[in-house]
Structure 1
Amino acid sequence: MPEIEKIHKYIDEHFDDHIKRIQEYLRQPSISQTGEGMRETAEMTRDYLKEMLGAESTIDSTSGYPVVFGKLKSKTSNRWMFIYGMYDTQPVEPLNEWTSPPFEARIVDNRIIARGAINSKGPLMATLNALQSILEVAGDLPFNLIFGVEGEEEQASIHLPEWAKKRESELKQCEAMGMWIPSQAIPGAPPALLLGLKGIVYMELECRTNPLDVHSSQANILPNPVWRLIWALNSMRGQDEVLIEGFYDNVEPPPPEDLELVDKYSELLVKAMTASYQVENYRGVNPKAMARNLIFKPSPINIDGIISGWTGPGTKTITPAKATVKIDIRLVPNMTTSEVIDRVKSHLKKRGFEDIEVRVLGAYEWVKVSVKDKISQAAIKTFKELNYEPVVMQMLPGSAPFYLFTKPPFNMKFIMSGPGHGGRAHAPNEYLMVDGIKDFEKYIASFLYNYAET
C-alpha cells in the first residue's frame, strides 16, 4: 500500500479522536476583543504543537497578544513551508441567538457548533491532525515547517508585522505558506480553489461638537455630531458606488477568462449566502452581476456600527457630544491601503469635514496567486485524486494578513483551500460539518506530498 494510502487509512481509523481534539480546542474561549481565554489558548496551541508533532514551540510576545511560533524539521527535505493560523475569535453576542452554547462544541445535526468552528480554530486543529497522521505513519514530513499562530487576526493583525520582523530569518527560508480552509460553499458543492484575498482598510470616523451631552431643547442652536457624520458619509457614497474622487482609478479590470469563470459559479455563491446566513434581501437580482460585483469590485464603504447618544430603554432627550462610525473598505488589485486612506482624508477635508477625526484601526493589502503556479496545480491535482473537481475562485471577498508573507522580503506563494463545509463565521451558530473533516485532513496530507514533488 502506497504511503499516502496508509496515511488516509490512519485518518479513518483515528477520526473519532480527531473530532474530540477539535471539540477540545473549540471549548476553550479565545476572544481577542475582550481578552477572554487568550493566554490559555496560546499555551494550549503551543502544547499541541509540542505534544502532537514534536515541534519546537514557544510563545512569542508582541506589543499585543502573543504569536505561537513552531518549528518542525524534516529528516529528508531541504524545502520549507510556513503554516499560518489564528487562535483568536470574534465575540459570541447576541448570545440568545445561539441554539447551542458557543463554547461547548456540541455536535448537532452533524455540525460542530462553536465560535471558531470554521473561522478558524476548527480547520487549524484539523491541520494539526493531518500533520500528526503523516508523522505517525511515515515518521517524517515532506517539508520543513514553520508555524505562526496569531491572536489578533480579528483585530486586523496589528502586531503581526512586529512578529514577522522578529522571525524574519526563519520565515525567509519558506517558499510558500498554507492556511487550509474548507471551501465547499454548501454541502455537496464542489470545493473552491481560492487564488486571492481582497485587501481591507478599517477606520473610525469621529465627530465631536460639544464638550458634553446637552439637553435636546437646545437643538435649534447647537450642532449635532450624528447628523454631521451622516452628511459626511452621504458625501462619500451613493446608492451603489463610492463618490470619493479617484477611488476607482487603480482598480484593475478583470480579464474575460476570469469573468467567465465567475459566471460559472455565480448561482452557487448566492445559494451559499442564502443557506449560511438566511440572506434574501440582496443588492441585485442577477446572480452573474452579483458575483462579479462581489469578486472584482471594491466594497462601497461598509458601515460596521455607529456609536452615539442614548440607545437604552425609554427616552432621554439629548444632543450628543460626539458620534463615531466604524467603516471598512475591501480592496481589489491594484488598489493600495495607503491610497485609500489618503483619499478618504482628502475627501473629508475638501468637503468641509476637517473636524471629523479619522483613525485607521487596521489595514491589509490584497494578495493573489496564479492558477498556473505549481502550488495551485498541486492543489488541483490533490482535489482530483480525492474525486473532487474544484472551481477556481480568483478572489475571496474576505481578507487576511497574507500580504505580509507574499510580498517582499518573503515573497511566498500561498494555498488556501480544501474540501469540507462550514459557515456562519462571526455570527451565532457558527459551524463546521463533521462529514467533510475527514477528506479535509486527507487533502492536506496529500497536498504536501504532491507539492513536494514539484
Structure 2
Amino acid sequence: MSSQVSQYIRDNRQQHLDQLIEFLRIPSISALSDHKEDVRKAAEWVVESLKGAGLTTAQLMETPGHPVVYGEWSHPDNTHTILVYGHYDVQPVDPVELWDSPPFEPVIHDEKLYARGASDDKGQTFMHVKAVEAMLKVNGTLPFNVKFLIEGEEEIGSPSLDAFVSEHKDLLASDILMISDTPILGKGKPAVCTGLRGLCSLQVDVKGAKGDLHSGLYGGAVQNSIHALVQLLSTLRDEEGRIQVEGFYDGVIEPTEEEREGYKKLGNYEEELKSELGVSELFGEAGYTAREHTWVRPTLEVNGIYGGFQGEGVKTVIPSLAHAKITCRLVPGQDPDTISELIENHLKAHTPPGVTVNTTRFDKGKPFLAPTDHPAFKTATDSYEKVYGEPALFTRMGGSIPVVETFDQVLSIPILLMGFGLPSENFHAPNEHFHLENYDKGIETLLTFWDTLSL
C-alpha cells in the first residue's frame, strides 16, 4: 500500500466519519413497514457514496422487496474481479429506553461510534467504499476490477436476494467475494471467519377459548393458553439445553478434532464471557466449550413470549391467546426447512388438551463453511497481521448471513469473511457501537489486502 493512499485516508478521516454519521442517521429498519421510505433513502445514499468514490456504475436495482445497490469499476487491462457484499438495512431499536443516546443520532465516546448499524453493517460496508475511494483518488486506478452488491433485507433474512443473485449471475461474476459483517476475536486479535450458522424462525400461536374468560367464573375448568404455551415450550429442550425435537441433530457435521484442538489454543473463554455478560454461570449442552456452543452447535431459543393482560395492575382473566417467537441457529448438515418441519411436528405431537396451535415461518438461511486453501485466505491473514501486529486466526461465527450460502452455490467463488467488529459491540441490541480503532485499522487492512492479493 502506497504512503500516498495511507495519507489520503488520514487526511480525510474526519470527513469520512462525518459521512458515516450521516449514513447512520437514516433509520433503515427493513423489518418495519413504517420505515420503507427510510430504507430506500439509505439505498439512494449508498448509490451517491459509490459515485463519489469514483465508481463508473452505481445504481438502484429493484426487487420485490427493498432495492439492491449495484456498483462497478473496471479497466480492460485488469483480468480479475473482486465482488464486495454488504447491507444497508439495520435491526429495530427496541427497547429504545435502554439506549444511552438516541439510536439514530450517532455520537462518539471514548473512540467508539454509537448508533444502530454502526458495526452491523453500515460501518463495515462503508470501510470498503472508502478503501476503494482512496485508491482511485490517489492512483486513478485499481489493481482489480471491483463490483459492489449492497442489499437492504439482510436483517430480515434476505428474502429477495436469492432470486436476484440467480437472475444476475453473469453480472455478479467475479473471482472472489469479500464480506465484512463478522467480528474479530477481541481487541487486537484479528480473525478470518470460515463458517456461519444458518437460521430458521417460527411464530407459535396458541388459542384456547373463543375469548378471554373471567378467572373466577371459569378458572380451573378451562385451559389457560399461556400455561399451555409454557408447557409446550418446555418440551423443546432439556435442562442442559439439548434440543428434544426428534431428528433435530440428524446429519449434523461435527467439527474435526483438529478444529476443536485449534479452539482450545485460543484460551479459556468461559471466565471472560461470564464477566463480559454479567452472569454467574454459563449454560449449554454437556461436552462442549462456550466457543463450541456458539460456533459449531445448533440452538433453539425462545426470543419472545406474550399474551394476556399486559397493563398496569391486575386483570383476572384466562387468556384466549398466547404467542411465542422461536429461532434456531443451524450448523452444517442441517436444512432450515427440514428443521422448521420437525419443530412443527413436535409442537403438534405435544400440544396440551384444550388448545390449538398454529405456526408461521419467517426468516431462514442455510449454514456455510468455507474451504481455506485459496490463496486469498493467506493474503487476508497476512494483511491482518501486518496491520494489527498479531497473526490472524481462522474462526467461525455463531450468527447468520443467509445469502452467503446462496453466493457459494450460485457464483461458485471463494468467499472471504474479513470482519472488523468486536463481539462486545452490541449488534442487534441497545447501544450498538463500533470501535474506531478497528475502523481505522480495518481500512488499512483492506488496502493492504488489495495491494498484495495475487489471483
How far 1:419 moved relative to its partner? 4.7
Q: 2:102 and 2:292 mapped to 1: Cα distance? A: 37
Q: 2:27 and 2:270 mapped to 1: Cα distance? A: 31
2:436 aligned partner = 434
How far 1:418 moved relative to its partner? 4.3
Q: 1:248 and 1:328 mapped to 2: Cα distance? A: 16
2:332 aligned partner = 333
1:220 aligned partner = 220
Q: 2:400 and 2:182 mapped to 1: Cα distance? A: 16
Deviations 1:392-423 (A, max 9, x none): 34320010023344332212221122456471
Q: 1:384 to 1:186 in 2, by over 3 A?
A: closer
Deviations 1:136-192 (A, max 9, x none): 122122232222211111111122223223322212x123211124734433x3111
Q: 1:13 to 1:197 in 2, by over 3 A?
A: same
Counterparts of 1:404-419 in structure 2, within 5 Å, are 404-419=405-420
Q: In the alignment, residue 215 of structure 1 is paired with which amino acid? A: H
1:178 matched to 2:168? The reply is no
Instruction: Identify which range, 385-394 or 198-207, moves more after superposition.
Output: 385-394
Q: 2:400 and 2:200 mapped to 1: Cα distance? A: 10
1:313 aligned partner = 312
1:21 aligned partner = 19
Q: 1:266 and 1:246 mapped to 2: Cα distance? A: 33
Q: 2:413 and 2:270 mapped to 1: Cα distance? A: 29
Q: 1:86 to 1:274 in 2, by over 3 A?
A: farther
Q: % of aligned pairs identical?
A: 26
On the 8 A contact 1:406/1:413 being kept in 2, the answer is no
Deviations 1:341-364 (A, max 9, x none): 221122233335794222210111
2:121 aligned partner = 120
2:373 aligned partner = 372
TM-score, scaled relative to structure 2: 0.91
Deviations 1:75-124 (A, max 9, x none): 43232222111111112222232222222211111111111111111111
Q: 1:296 to 1:268 in 2, by over 3 A?
A: same
Q: 1:280 and 1:109 mapped to 2: Cα distance? A: 28
Q: 2:3 and 2:421 mapped to 1: Cα distance? A: 20
2:68 aligned partner = 67
Counterparts of 1:252-291 in structure 2, within 5 Å, are 252-268=253-269, 271=272, 274-275=275-276, 277-283=277-283, 289-291=289-291
1:348 aligned partner = 347
On the 8 A contact 2:177/2:413 being kept in 1, the answer is yes
Counterparts of 1:157-168 in structure 2, within 5 Å, are 157-168=158-169
Deviations 1:415-448 (A, max 9, x none): 1224564711111111111222221101112212
1:7 matched to 2:5? The reply is yes
Q: In the alignment, residue 238 of structure 1 is paired with which amino acid? A: D
Deviations 1:328-375 (A, max 9, x none): 111111111122122112223333579422221011101111232222
Q: 1:420 and 1:319 mapped to 2: Cα distance? A: 46
Q: 1:135 and 1:268 mapped to 2: Cα distance? A: 42
Q: In the alignment, residue 19 of structure 2 is paired with which amino acid? A: R
SS class of match (2:268): helix
Q: 2:450 and 2:225 mapped to 1: Cα distance? A: 55
On the 8 A contact 2:191/2:395 being kept in 1, the answer is no
Q: 1:351 to 1:286 in 2, by over 3 A?
A: closer
Q: 1:151 to 1:274 in 2, by over 3 A?
A: farther
On the 8 A contact 1:185/1:269 being kept in 2, the answer is no
1:324 matched to 2:304? The reply is no
Q: 2:412 and 2:69 mapped to 1: Cα distance? A: 22
On the 8 A contact 1:258/1:394 being kept in 2, the answer is no
1:194 matched to 2:196? The reply is no
Instruction: Identify which range, 49-58 or 349-358, moves more after superposition.
Output: 349-358
Instruction: Identify which range, 358-367 or 397-406, moves more after superposition.
Output: 397-406
Size of the aligned set, in residue pairs, is 447
Q: 1:140 and 1:92 mapped to 2: Cα distance? A: 40
Q: 1:181 to 1:191 in 2, by over 3 A?
A: farther
Q: 1:405 and 1:388 mapped to 2: Cα distance? A: 34
Q: 1:264 and 1:306 mapped to 2: Cα distance? A: 39
RMSD: 2.5
Deviations 1:171-230 (A, max 9, x none): 2x123211124734433x311111111111111111222332222231322222222222
Structure 2 residues not aligned, in runs of 5+: none
Q: 1:90 to 1:46 in 2, by over 3 A?
A: same
Deviations 1:42-77 (A, max 9, x none): 111111112223341222222222222222223432
Q: 1:324 and 1:112 mapped to 2: Cα distance? A: 36
